[in-house]
Structure 1
């Protein structure tokens, strides 16, 4: 029986290169950690996957993936190779991508967006309305922003991330959408606030806190610089229920401006500029370089940008 061609088999005198199928194999196995799952995703048989892995091991002189209790774990050689493997795949995808081959009127694509609680509240309704109007068969799914955002974007398990995510740097593109400042929400009958909210009143008041996201870290740092120790009486994980809590108590909530004005508009709360000096922050959309030229991803980014235009004001 003839042997499969080595992954570096080329005409004499040429620099050995990996076949594209081996690049895809490395990428999928790195994500799945399972040869059987990789075989399914690549529409190959499990024995073929074993043959490909053996050929690559011979080519690189390294085990590449080691079978362990929790799956096929990559060696340091694979960890070092993966950025180059994925860049090569992205470049090859870009070569054959047609910028006009995404038709929103007929597309049935499923887009997944990593979003903060505030973005779901303030941006998702407008984005959903626009996309349903232009692409009625497209499905949207919102995913809560977490520590796995870089991996989700790199693996193609999410298309975009919306928010303030300074940790996304190498390998990611970003686009500024609008600027946010911090505001305070209060009951119109708040006993300490008469004509405005100054820093002394802010320090003396009691607060409800939503300690989520990287933006909140900026707020904590600003409070520390001003040596303000807030009297936090309640912590909640999301903005759900915040209007009812503030309108029914003397607690003050410090939130990003777009979220604050959105909540105030539907609940009759008063909005005050946060008296604690701190710089504004920029809400961005982020995507991985692997999908920079993907027509569907490009279309989705345009819709997000259009919906967000002017939101900072």
Structure 2
């Protein structure tokens, strides 16, 4: 194989070629590289062997390039510049000027609890960034891997393996009722829980946790109304005597905005943690890191008794 058929040397040898061409000195090239002179001499020997040419020869005025080195220096510098651009590509994210469109997988409960403060903070830090809320379903894992969704936030147990995750806060369960409920005061016991009419929320992993806990405890609810999600729940509870059992954060948020009362749930329902999840492909993406950081700054709560 002739020398012209050889592939380009690695970056360190290209850098050496560039420095020797500028400095005409092995010693000064070694200083620029932070290496010993013998190491640089070994690298130069590798270059000479690869291209079958001395490349640089000693003269009274220093290491003079050969015609082969003269021919190589232009393409070598173009290659070095391309590598530098490649290294910088996507490395920087300026929220103040970015027009990036982020997609966040979340439940409709998070539309009420997480999205408003998240959007408000993004508008302050990144006024031209756009957000979209995507559904969390059985396609979420594929969407994260494909970059169609940047983050998924909530209770998403099927994303535990193969995805990065960060625990944000724990959730327990509460009951939510009209503040002027005709029969319930500051508490609700198990007998009253079974006697009252309920609103059931059908959607979400949390609904399955609740259904299993009620079945395990042999507790029977009288579900008078079933909703696919939390849309309209606050208005319904504020105008009826129905009871809703739901995670604390959405319960407390609806209570504040609809004048409702939060009661301790008389049934032991396993708690869970809300997490943000992202795919390994985007772990080092600067924009994704920024979005995760905003989420953590807003919602991360230190655990009192970390595992």
CA deviation after TM superposition for structure 1 residue 102, in Å: 0.7
1:301 aligned residue:
292
1:291 is aligned to 2:278: no
Q: Kindly state the Cα deviation for residue 98 of structure 1 after the two structures are TM-superposed.
A: 6.7
The number of residue pairs the alignment matches comes to 221
Q: Distance in 2 between matches of 1:119 and 1:153?
A: 18
- Corresponding residue to 1:152 among 134, 138, 143: 143
Aligned to 2:101: 110
Would you say the 8 A contact 2:167–2:276 is kept in 1?
yes
In the alignment, the residues of structure 2 paired with residue 263 and residue 194 of structure 1 have an alpha-carbon distance, to the nearest angstrom, of: 18
Give 1:309 deviation, angstroms: 2.9
Aligned to 1:173: 164
Within the candidate set 208, 213, 230, 2:221 is matched to 230
8 Å contact from structure 1 (residues 192, 205) kept in 2: no
Tell me if structure 2 keeps the 8 A contact 1:114–1:160: yes
Residue 263 (str. 1) matches residue 254 (str. 2):
yes
For residue 184 of structure 2, what is the aligned residue in structure 1? 193
1:215 aligns with 2:206: yes
- Residue segments in structure 1 that go unaligned for 5+ positions in a row: 1-9, 12-94
Question: How many Å separate the matches in 1 of 2:158 and 2:301?
Answer: 25
Q: CA RMSD in A?
A: 2.1
Structure 1 residues 176, 103: closer, same or farther in 2, change over 3 A? Answer: same
**Residue from 108, 115, 119 that aligns with 2:110:** 119
The alignment's TM-score, normalised by the length of structure 2, stands at: 0.68
> Whose Rg is larger?
2
User: 1: CA distance between counterparts of 2:122 and 2:294?
Assistant: 7
Contiguous gaps of at least 5 residues in structure 2: 1-5, 8-85
Report the alpha carbon displacement of residue 100 of structure 1 after superposing the two structures with TM: 5.2
Give the TM-score of the pair, scaled to structure 1: 0.67
The Cα offsets for residues 145-173 of structure 1, whole Å up to 9 and x where unpaired, read as 12211111011000000100111133211
CA contact (8 A) 2:187 2:264 kept: no
Cα 1:280–1:98 shift into 2, 3 Å: farther
